[in-house]
Amino acid sequence: MVARISTGQYYGQTTDNILRLQSDMAEQNNHISSGERVMTAADDPVASTTIAGMDRELAQLDLYERNMTTAENRNQLMETNLASATDTLTHAKTVMINANNGSLGPDDLKALGIQMQNDYDFLVQVANTKDESGSYVFAGYQVDTAPITRLADGSVIYNGDNGVRELQIGSENYVPANQSGQKVFFDIANTYGDFMPTYSVNNGGLRLESANIVDKGNFDRAGVPEPYDFQFTDTNGDGVAELTVSDGGGGTILGPFNYTPGQTIAFNGLEVSFSGNPVPGDSIQINEQSEVDLFKTMQDAINWIDNAAAGNIDQVEYDRILGQMNSSTNHITSRQAEAGISRGLIRDQTDFNLDYEQTLTQARSNLRDLDYSAAMIEYSQTELSLQATQQAFSLGSKLSLFDFI
């Protein structure tokens, strides 16, 4: 049986074939123009899903890169400024040592006092450092407020908080973009330990060496309130200093007992030791204070030099201030090192991210990019099919039964 096809069917089928081939050519041309094999999910559903995941990973790496740039700039700024602070403290210690020279006159000491004041002013400037966006880097989360405000008496107020702004530089890695001014400039270890001394009378060269809470479980702040007062007397007249320790409420904790220079005095979970040879009438108080701020130390140094210019040399206070300057220098150096460590982490993460980005980019390219040779061959074949179909249609449309009658 011979199948019959009407003229309308012939025209319809041929037109559909031509339109399909034209559509195929247009799509192939889009792929060739874009250079991509997978442009939509319809091209390759599995590859399209994988490529979308890779695109998200690459976008995340781009965010990490911006965060690393910001973190690097901030930590470099902190490292540079803290290095300057360390140099300033080193100079301040030199000034302090020079001031403890009995041959210097009042004018010389006043000149040294001016140098110490200049160093103090510079350290305030460092603490109020701003980054490129105008934010204060040592203010915690309070980036729009200057962290340090100076008062008339030389003391300061810290206006920031303890916040640390961390930036994500890897899937599980974060790096700080700031340091809290509280941590940098105020939480400096007290060289005596957990308590700070106040000398009421000191004719025997008494010095606090250490005062530490060694048994926190037995340390009773409420029942045995501070300050703790150490009174040296000689009630029996034997020439041996006797020590009485009392609390802030006036209650006697220890003594009186014969005091041996250098012995450790233990009470209320504390251990306290002194050096020097106290004489009857000497008295010292200690108050709990495990940390000292840098600016208090600098102001104490200025005050000591001013007093020395007036003829009042306090060697015990000098030793305390110089020791606290050493502690401050070590502390600032460690904060500087922390910024350097952060920069090292950023460099390591940068290398890792670059390698990962190259791997992702190559894998995505393998899935998405077009094989131009194969695409051009396919395009040429489609074009040839279209031309053949058009020619056949052109010839077939001219045929008529009347030509054979």
CATH classification of the domain holding 110:
1.20.1330.10
Of the candidates 299, 275, 255, 254, the residue with the CA atom closest to the CA atom of residue 120: 299
In this prediction, residue 281 has a pLDDT band, given cuts at 50, 70 and 90, of very high
302-330 pLDDT, tens digit per residue, is: 999 999 999 998 899 999 999 999 999 99
What pLDDT, on the 0 to 100 scale, is given for residue 204?
Answer: 87
Mark whether 92 and 161 lie in a shared domain.
yes
End-to-end CA distance of the chain: 24
Cα torsion 284, 287, 293, 297 to 10°: value is: -10
In a domain, 41, yes or no: no
Q: Is 331 helix (H, G, I), strand (E, B) or coil?
A: helix
346-364 pLDDT, tens digit per residue, is: 999 989 888 877 887 777 6
Integer Cα distance of 314 and 320 in angstroms: 10
Q: Supply φ then ψ for residue 121, to 5 degrees.
A: -60, -40
What is the domain count for the chain?
Answer: 2
Mark whether 319 and 338 lie in a shared domain.
yes
In this prediction, residue 402 has a pLDDT band, given cuts at 50, 70 and 90, of very low
In a domain, 68, yes or no: yes
13-45 pLDDT, tens digit per residue, is: 666 666 665 655 556 566 565 556 555 655 566
Mark whether 317 and 186 lie in a shared domain.
yes
- Of residues 333 and 25, more confidently modeled: 333
What pLDDT, on the 0 to 100 scale, is given for residue 392?
Answer: 63
Q: Is 386 helix (H, G, I), strand (E, B) or coil?
A: helix
In a domain, 328, yes or no: yes
Find all residues with CB under 8 Å of 222, minimum gap 6, and list them.
Answer: none
In a domain, 392, yes or no: no
Mark whether 63 and 128 lie in a shared domain.
yes
What pLDDT, on the 0 to 100 scale, is given for residue 345?
Answer: 93
179-218 pLDDT, tens digit per residue, is: 999 999 999 999 999 999 999 999 988 999 999 999 999 9
Tokens representing residue 306 in the block: 């001013």
Mark whether 85 and 166 lie in a shared domain.
yes
In a domain, 20, yes or no: no
In a domain, 182, yes or no: yes
174-176 vs 188-189, strand pairing mode = unpaired
In a domain, 23, yes or no: no
Mark whether 175 and 63 lie in a shared domain.
yes
Burial class (CB in 10 A: 0-12, 13-18, 19+), 147: buried
Strands (E), 289-373: 291-292
In this prediction, residue 372 has a pLDDT band, given cuts at 50, 70 and 90, of very low
235 touches 281 (CB < 8 A):
no
Taking 70 as the threshold, does the pLDDT of residue 10 lie above it?
Answer: no
Handedness of CA 256, 257, 262, 267 (dihedral sign): negative
Mark whether 162 and 269 lie in a shared domain.
no
Integer Cα distance of 15 and 24 in angstroms: 14
- Of residues 165 and 48, more confidently modeled: 165
Task: List Cα–Cα distances, 37 to 29, 47, 160, 375, 380, in angstroms.
Answer: 11, 10, 55, 9, 17
Domain hosting residue 202, numbered range: 195-289
